[in-house]
Amino acid sequence: MVSVTGTLIWYYYICPREVWLMSRHLNPSQDDPFIEIGRLISKEAYQRERKEVRVENIVIDLLKSSEGEVVVGEVKKSSKYEKSAKMQICYYLMRLKALGILAKGVLLFPKEKKRIEVDLTPEIEEELKNTIADIKAISEKETPPPAKKIKFCAKCGYKEFCWA
Ligand code: SF4
């Protein structure tokens, strides 16, 4: 059974085929410049105020808040895939909630100097439960969902696999 992570949640909302590929540990090409830039931004931005913590199988970025509340931060290269990013952060909030920690989320887009606050609502929680079940169902299939050309394919680490 696949171990659901925030990354899988993020991919689910972009391309379910990626969920299948990642669940099989077929990792995308590491020299993909998009991945490299994303990694660099994530490492360098907000360095002073963030702290990475491991909660079971997930790694969460905790940000300091002036009011002393727990804030989970997620740094992204662009806000183009905002729904994916929002659901990923809500997944972290849901996991923390299950441990008795009530937190807020904030999405950070340093290149765009943008910041979006995210709250875990009952509706999102319900949607996430269905998403988690679907991710598990996809990962258990013998074959991946068919490839569908989307804008993201151009930057995807699996593009050689899907479209070569
Ligand atoms: S190349 Fe396109 S279809 Fe293939 S996994 Fe990536 S996003 Fe999905």
C-alpha–C-alpha distance, residues 91 and 127, integer Å:
10
DSSP E strands in the chain: the ranges are: 50-55, 58-63, 71-75, 104-109, 114-118
What confidence tens digit (pLDDT) does each residue in 11-68 have? 999 999 999 998 887 766 655 545 554 555 455 555 556 677 777 777 787 776 667 7
CATH fold of the domain at 6-163: Lambda Exonuclease; Chain A (3.90.320)
Domain map (residue ranges) of the chain: 6-163
| Residue 81 CA to ligand 1 centre (angstroms) | 14
What span, in angstroms and rounded, lies between the C-alpha atoms of 54 and 32? Answer: 26
CA 36 / ligand 1 centre spacing (Å): 18
Kindly report the pTM of this predicted structure. Answer: 0.84
